[in-house]
Amino acid sequence: MTVVLSILVALGIFFVVGLASRAGLRSLAPAHHKPTYRDMPLTASFGLAVIVFYIAVAILAPVVAPYGEGEVTGAQFLPWGAPNYLGTDKLGRDMLTRLIYGARNTVGIAFVTTALAFMVGSFLGIWAALVGGWLDQWLSRFVDALMAIPALIFSLLLLTIFGTSVLTLVLVIAAVDSTRVYRLARSVAQGIVMMDYIEAARLRGEGAWRLIRREILPNAMAPLVAEFGLRFCFVFLAISALSFLGLGIKPPTADWGSMVRENATLITFGDVTPLLPAGAIALLTVAVNFVVDWQLHRASGLKE
């Protein structure tokens, strides 16, 4: 009975948040965008609300967090209750504070990493499709060789060699994920460079950079934006997994992956505290996928 009640409460929250988010977007949007938000599915509006909430928490972390990020506020593994409303971890730090700062660190690093992977992978993929010849063959075979290695194992190997600083973590995961972006960008660009308007632009004497910026990139934007959302989820999960394994964001910096590992022992006592950062990871992943699905549906031109 308790499980059924919990499911009903979760569904109720989902519908209320989705309806409120859609109504708010429709009221705040310019007139020419109102039909878009009026037809937005509840899943997408719920996803947008969750994403906005995470961004707000990440930006306002020093303001909304009750304690400092690494501040010890009590004994180890205190139960839920005032003043530590979600208890404390194995060092006596406030779990609510760690969750709030974890949003800034985990989500922020994942976004920077995804953006870097897309800048590198998209440019190289479009450039290879535009130029062709030996450059395309060399880059594609190099990317194939890297993609043949499992991403998590390759990341673990590189982090073991170069260290586990935040900068190294960003560069390693961006390099690994840029190979996936390269394949998509090259595939999309190959269909575009065959179009007549690209040939006309070449006859006008436009260079490669102008062709990429003015002709190819705008027409490839829809699938790339959708892939950005999906790739963000993969990067976000990869950083959390590496932190769980001890090779990601290092203590005392708050990170959801390491928080699960540090408090995992509470599971044996029936305490759900370690599931809070895991739930935060899962909720953001689902929310981003909801919005990406909506954007793909819009880009496809389908009505149903």
Domain housing 283: 105-300
For residue 26, tell me if it sits in a domain. Answer: no
Residue 55 lies in a domain: no
What is the C-alpha to C-alpha distance for residues 20 and 6, in angstroms, rounded to an integer? 21
Q: Looking at the 3D structure of the chain, how many domains does it have?
A: 1
25 in any annotated domain? no
With a CB cutoff of 8 Å and minimum separation 6, the contacts of 190 are 129
Q: What is the pLDDT of residue 3?
A: 41
The whole-model pTM stands at 0.84
In a domain, 123, yes or no: yes
- What is the chain written as a DSSP string? -HHHHHHHHHHHHHHHHHHHHHHHHHHHS-GGGHHHHHT--HHHHHHHHHHHHHHHHHHTHHHH-SS-TT-B-SSTTPPSBTTBTT-B-TTSBBHHHHHHHHIIIIIHHHHHHHHHHHHHHHHHHHHHHHH-HHHHHHHHHHHHHHHTS-HHHHHHHHHHHH---HHHHHHHHHHHHHHHHHHHHHHHHHHHTTSHHHHHHHHTT--HHHIIIIIIHHHHHHHHHHHHHHHHHHHHHHHHHHHHTTSSSPTTS--HHHHHHHTGGGGGGT--TTHHHHHHHHHHHHHHHHHHHHHHHHHHT---
Q: Can you give the pLDDT at residue 12?
A: 62
Does any domain span residue 150?
yes
- Over its length of 304 residues, how does the chain's per-residue pLDDT go in tens digits? 444 454 555 556 655 665 566 566 556 556 655 666 666 778 888 888 888 888 888 888 888 888 888 888 888 888 888 888 888 888 888 888 989 998 888 888 889 999 999 999 999 998 898 888 888 899 989 999 888 888 888 888 888 888 778 888 899 999 999 999 999 999 988 888 888 887 888 878 777 788 888 888 888 888 888 888 888 888 888 888 888 887 778 778 888 888 888 888 888 777 888 888 888 888 888 888 888 888 777 766 545 4
In a domain, residue 272? The reply is yes
State the pLDDT at residue 6: 46
CATH code, domain with 266: 1.10.3720.10
Q: Is residue 41 part of a domain?
A: no
Whether 2 maps to a domain, the answer reads no
